[in-house]
Amino acid sequence: NAGVTQTPKFQVLKTGQSMTLQCAQDMNHEYMSWYRQDPGMGLRLIHYSVGAGITDQGEVPNGYNVSRSTTEDFPLRLLSAAPSQTSVYFCASSALGGAGGYNEQFFGPGTRLTVL
Amino acid sequence: SQQGEEDPQALSIQEGENATMNCSYKTSINNLQWYRQNSGRGLVHLILIRSNEREKHSGRLRVTLDTSKKSSSLLITASRAADTASYFCATDARWGNNDMRFGAGTRLTVKP
């Protein structure tokens, strides 16, 4: 199993450009999420999904869109990049634990994004 | 806002000593998890403790959970230089947002 994969690993954008960060998992997990991590800080949740066709906003959703057409893929789209979106982006997936909450999350290696 | 907050923000110890990190959270939870992050890499899951559990062990790791105080602690015994990393707690709320939230982390440095 490849686990959680993310592409690209690095990306430089100019202000106003758009792009899509790709995330895929091969563990048949229902829950997938996107986080951003800024220097010296923890992870802040951008968007998440509990299954194909279902997405919801996290703490910092503005400027980002997501879709979940399949169980495996959960792309994150930056609509119009801004310097404030310079960050490291992590995708994660987890099996749902039903009424008992979430199980462990598996993280991708991250995408380092710089917006000039 | 972030659900969990770790304390201290940074911790520096000598190899062989024990390291204790704390996590406080705001709302009732289903589970609390601890993760480790080496510099510049993705997070790795360490241990999960459910709301009806009080203590769990995994190798040199010991996690406690006090739901009445909304707090958890992670103890790493006999620390090694390789334990140098950032440690984060994550919670999923029993009610409200159907997601997982992370704290800002504790940066642990273990000196050889």
pLDDT tens by residue, A21-76: 999 999 999 999 999 999 877 889 999 998 999 999 998 999 999 999 999 999 99
Alpha carbons B92 and A40: distance in angstroms, whole number = 23
The H-or-E segment that residue B34 falls in is strand B29-37
For all residues of chain A together, what is the average pLDDT?
A: 92
8 Å CB contact of A42 and B94: no
B100 touches chain A (CB under 8 A): yes
Alpha carbons A71 and A81: distance in angstroms, whole number = 27
Instruction: State the pLDDT at residue B1.
Output: 46
Task: Indicate which of A104, A106, A112 best probes the interface with B, i.e. most B CBs within 10 Å of its own CB.
Answer: A104
Strand B10-14 relative to strand B106-111: parallel, antiparallel, unpaired?
A: parallel
Nearest by CB to B99, which of A33, A99, A109?
Answer: A33
8 Å CB contact of A43 and B102: yes
- Mean pLDDT for B61-80 is 96
For all residues of chain B together, what is the average pLDDT?
A: 90
